[in-house]
Amino acid sequence: MNHFKSKNDIYLIAEIGGNHEGDFEYAKKLTKLAAQSGADAVKFQIYTGDSLVNPKYDPDRNKHFKKFQLTQEQYVELAELCQELDITFMASVWDVDAFGYIDKYMPIYKVGSGDMTAYNLIKKMVHTGKPIILSSGLATFEEVKNVVSFIESIDSSYIAEKKLALLQCTSMYPIPFEDANLNVMMTYKENFDIPIGYSDHTTDMDAIEIAVAMGAEIIEVHFTDSREGKEFRDHKVSATKDEIQALIKKIKKIKTLQGSFEKKPTKSEIESGHTNSFRRGIYAKRELQAGETIQEEDLITLRPLVGIGADKFYDMVGKKISDNIEALESLKSKFEI
């Protein structure tokens, strides 16, 4: 079963995150734009300042998150708006007390990079039985292995049924290209039999397009209405509705170009006749008489492929001719096997 079924060629998440900056009307506007973009899901972050940051040790960040937080009623209204707009509501739940009211709206849970080691939160998500997408910014490979094992120890179906997905991510805003490390996706693919993907924090679409070409099944990209005049850092790494729509078209093109894993002549090659006109057949280089034994110098390979293909050239050497063959005539079956 595909737990991350997409209307696109990959599962595409438009992350509003904190880009609403605590403005509920703006959050609704961004949600509507995300739905219009064609993304599969829109993602928020559910928290309160006090449930996320210890005011004793980091009072400034505590105040920052309090300024950006929405109310329980507002998160529910956003989830219901997503239902009306036919886009999946998703959230990184950073408040342990929020599970009770938000779970019924959440078909998929998202674990942000900062909470990859927050096993108490992850355990609550696993106990819901719902699919989980896990970002791995800041992590060592050992930490990634540990959290995957932790999830499997609670509910083995997350691995057996591929209900857990793992995203390569770098937790900076923005990141330099050399920090994207898209090859980590291949490390995940080699070590974990679960869906893999990429959460982007670059300033253009190049990394996303390359990630898709490398086999990403899930893409998460920050979302905004415009980057102009915005001071909050996440807007800098965010895509707009038009950019998401263009990305979806580009992804479709990438997937079309990737095509099949099976190597065989394509429909266009067959219908054009190129499977014969581009290939060489084996022909007599001179007139050959019945009873002669074919020598290498008696043969020539030329286009088109008529009769016996050039790959059988050395199979023909040493054969005895069963009938006369004219110069440049295809050998066909005029020899004794």
User: pTM here?
Assistant: 0.90
Identify the band that residue 332 occupies on the pLDDT scale cut at 50, 70 and 90. Answer: confident
Taking only the tens place, the pLDDT of each residue in 269-300 is 999 999 999 999 999 999 999 999 999 999 99
The H-or-E segment that residue 43 falls in is: strand 41-46
> Helices marked H in 38-93 — which ranges?
49-52, 59-68, 72-85
- How confident is the model over 171-182, as a mean pLDDT? 95
Given a cut of 90, is residue 216 above it in pLDDT? yes
Given a cut of 90, is residue 234 above it in pLDDT? no
Residue 335 has a pLDDT of 57
Identify the band that residue 1 occupies on the pLDDT scale cut at 50, 70 and 90. Answer: confident
Residue 220 has a pLDDT of 98
For the chain, which domains are there? Answer: 11-258 (3.20.20.70), 269-337 (3.90.1210.10)
Taking only the tens place, the pLDDT of each residue in 124-150 is 999 999 999 999 999 999 999 999 999
Residue 334 has a pLDDT of 59
Residue 336 has a pLDDT of 46
Structure tokens that stand for 292 in this block: 């002669």
Burial class (CB in 10 A: 0-12, 13-18, 19+), 127: exposed
Residue 233 has a pLDDT of 80
Which residue from 19, 24, 72, 84 is spatially nearest to 46, judged by alpha carbons? 72
CA–CA separation, 41 and 46 (whole Å): 16
- Average pLDDT across the chain, whole number: 95
Taking only the tens place, the pLDDT of each residue in 192-205 is 999 999 999 999 99
Q: How would DSSP label each residue in 90-133?
A: EEEE--GGGHHHHGGG-SSEEE-GGGTT-HHHHHHHHHHT--EE
CA–CA separation, 237 and 140 (whole Å): 24
